[in-house]
Chains A and B, each alone.
Chain A
Amino acid sequence: MSMLSVRNLKKAYGALKVTDDLSLDVEPGELHAIIGPNGAGKTTLITQLSGQSRPDSGQILFEGRDITRLGMAERVHLGLARSFQITSILPGFTVLENVALAVQAKDGSSFRFFAPVAREEVLNKAAMHKLRDVGLADRAHLKASALSHGDHRRLELAIAMATEPKLLLLDEPLAGTGGQDAEALVALLLDLKGKITTVLIEHDMDAVFSLADRISVLVYGEIIATGTPAEIRANPAVRTAYLGEEATA
């Protein structure tokens, strides 16, 4: 059984079909990249998969269960986490608090009114662990808004990981980074590969082709091809529609 099955998903903004009868299967353990030009509908697909927006029609199955009508929070509790293309953190919280809150969401009730949460070692330890994974441990006590852009991208990843997902939806985790930051993030994703099923949206073709088990190409809301990196590279339709000279270079 696929981990994620998307069946005939459709969504339109007015006359614009952002998701056009889209079907997709993500197998357990795979890193499935989705590529496509700007405005192809990649982010909109992620918002529908994560429950932030609703499709007009179609079905989303997660581990065989229909989650099409579930809210974002409910999907997180089933094991589906996402990161945001545009960094979305709690700017006034410390880095550690940002991650500890994500741990807290899955650790018992948050209707606890008296015990100081800052002293809950269970939350802090788990959060610190995630921060070490992404290389932010030494910045744990900084205010999140004070981080550099590259560190924001790491924090974004740490927060998503802290919800202990079975399926990770990453919307351009490298967005806006370059050089060492990008390299470090790719190394991180490589480390996650095989451990957590991942849907990766990314513009950096080197990263995509080195990381992905399979790649789907999204153009104008439609998936025009799905296959291994080698198959996608060789696919003439993909080359004309999207990759152009870049992929052959």
Chain B
Amino acid sequence: MSVAEQPMPRARMLGRTKAAWVIFALAALLPAFAALTNDPFLTVIGTRILAFAIAAMALDLILGYGAMVSFGHAAYIGFGAYSVAILSRYGITDISLHILAAMAVSAVFATITGAISIRTRGIYFIMITLAFGQMAYFFFVSLSAFGGDDGTTLADRSTFFGTRFLESDLSLYYVTLAILIGLFLLASRLVMSRFGRVLTGTRENMTRMEAVGFRPFRYQLTAFVISGCMTSIAGVILANQAEFISPAFMSWHISGELIVMVVLGGIGNLTGAIGGAVIALLLEEIIGIFTHHWKLYFGIILILVVLYSPGGVSGLVERIRGPRK
């Protein structure tokens, strides 16, 4: 037996990567479908879905790979959204700078709150990240220069390297898709790297990791910061898509929805989180057409998935397709 031979889970990993590319291909075709059905609103919803897919994937990095269930990840969406609003007001309009600022603020916030949260486990971690998320929420509620509780509309969308390219919904959609794909590629490399293996190890058995010489804290914190930075990019996009920002972007409901997306899609494989975001938001739209009580029905679906397919939708797909070679 050759040592170069790849361990078994790689085959499954490849299957999931393929599934992600199917989603990306379908997403690339969505605007054409929208044009055919004469429903431009689809593209607008599509942008929202892809942005949430970015955030859900970022959350999966720590939730799925590091067993860190952050219940405060909406804060980073807020940092992204407010970076657009605040910098634009002061004449800094380019999306690259908005993303940079969003990531910088997120990195600082994630380093400080992560360093404290990661010392706790399980339900305490959930509660403390929720508390930090709420702190960020109330900070922006009190920011009266930007509408406080009510938020504020954006005068314009971010510029794109000096152009007004993003003013078109279609361009914004494809830029979002490109960012999602880029981040997916990065995240896929990351989880297969040395760093990714250590992070996954801390999920599996913390004591064992220390007993072979790793200090889990630094790896967990690094992952937490990367995840926060990635999530903030979703906020930059969502602010542009809505042309409006408010603390509602960072309410704990959003943090909860992100967790739901990751669990629904199946944790710890990136593709699941992306699929989970797509399914959750589509269900929200579709059930919403028939009833105002969509959350109830959505809740029932979620419970069924968790009960009957612990691996989420991606686990279900794999079981239906049978064991892969």
Contacts and interface: CB of A to CB of B under 8 A. Distances in A.
B215 interface: yes
Nearest to A109: B194
Given A73-B210, A84-B211, A110-B214, A101 B3 contact: no
A138 B1 contact: yes
A93 B190 CA distance: 17
Given A110-B198, A114-B193, A118-B192, A125 B3 contact: yes
A115 B194 contact: yes
Given A52-B207, A111-B222, A121-B3, A105 B214 contact: yes
Nearest to B210: A72
Contacts of B214: 73, 105, 110
Given A73-B213, A93-B204, A101 B198 contact: yes
B212 A76 contact: yes
Given A94-B8, A141-B5, A101 B195 contact: no
Nearest to B10: A118
Contacts of A19: none
A91 B203 CA distance: 10
B89 interface: no
Residue from B7, B9, B195, B207 having most chain A Cβ neighbours under 10 A: B7
Contacts of B8: 94, 141-143
Nearest to B192: A116
B213 A77 contact: yes
A101 B193 contact: no
A143 B263 CA distance: 23
Interface in B153-209: 189-190, 192-198, 200-201, 204-205, 207-209
A101 B201 contact: yes
Contact of B189 (A77, A81, A113): A113
Contacts of B193: 112-117
Interface string A100-129: 011011100111111111111100110010
Residue from B9, B10, B195, B213 having most chain A Cβ neighbours under 10 A: B213
Contacts of A88: 205, 207-208, 211
Contact of B205 (A90, A96, A102, A111): A90
Interface residues on B, range: 20 to 34
Contact of B204 (A73, A90, A113, A124): A90
A163 B212 contact: yes
Contacts, number: 120
Interface residues on A, range: 35 or more
Nearest to B205: A90
Contacts of B198: 101, 104, 110
B219 interface: yes
Contacts of B190: 113-114
A162 interface: yes
A112 B195 contact: yes
Contact of A110 (B9, B194, B205, B208): B194
A48 to B, nearest CB: 14
Nearest to A115: B193
B212 A101 contact: yes
A124 B213 contact: no
Contacts of A77: 213
Contacts of A96: 3, 7
Contacts of B210: 52, 71-73, 76
A151 interface: no
A113 B212 contact: no
Contacts of B189: 113-114, 116
A120 B194 CA distance: 9
Contact of A112 (B194, B200, B213): B194
B6 A118 contact: yes
B4 interface: yes
B191 to A, nearest CB: 10
A89 interface: yes
12 contacts: A50-B211, A71-B215, A73-B213, A97-B7, A110-B219, A112-B195, A113-B190, A114-B193, A116-B192, A118-B10, A120-B194, A128-B3
Nearest 9 A-B pairs (CB), nearest first? A76-B213, A105-B213, A90-B204, A94-B7, A102-B212, A72-B210, A112-B194, A124-B3, A128-B3
Given A52-B210, A90-B200, A114-B190, 17 more contacts: A76-B213, A88-B205, A97-B7, A102-B212, A105-B214, A109-B194, A110-B194, A110-B198, A110-B214, A113-B193, A113-B195, A118-B192, A120-B194, A124-B3, A125-B3, A138-B1, A140-B3
Interface of B: 1, 3-10, 189-190, 192-198, 200-201, 204-205, 207-215, 219, 222
Interface of A: 50, 52, 71-73, 76-77, 81-82, 84, 88-94, 96-97, 101-102, 104-106, 109-121, 124-125, 128, 137-138, 140-143, 159, 162-163
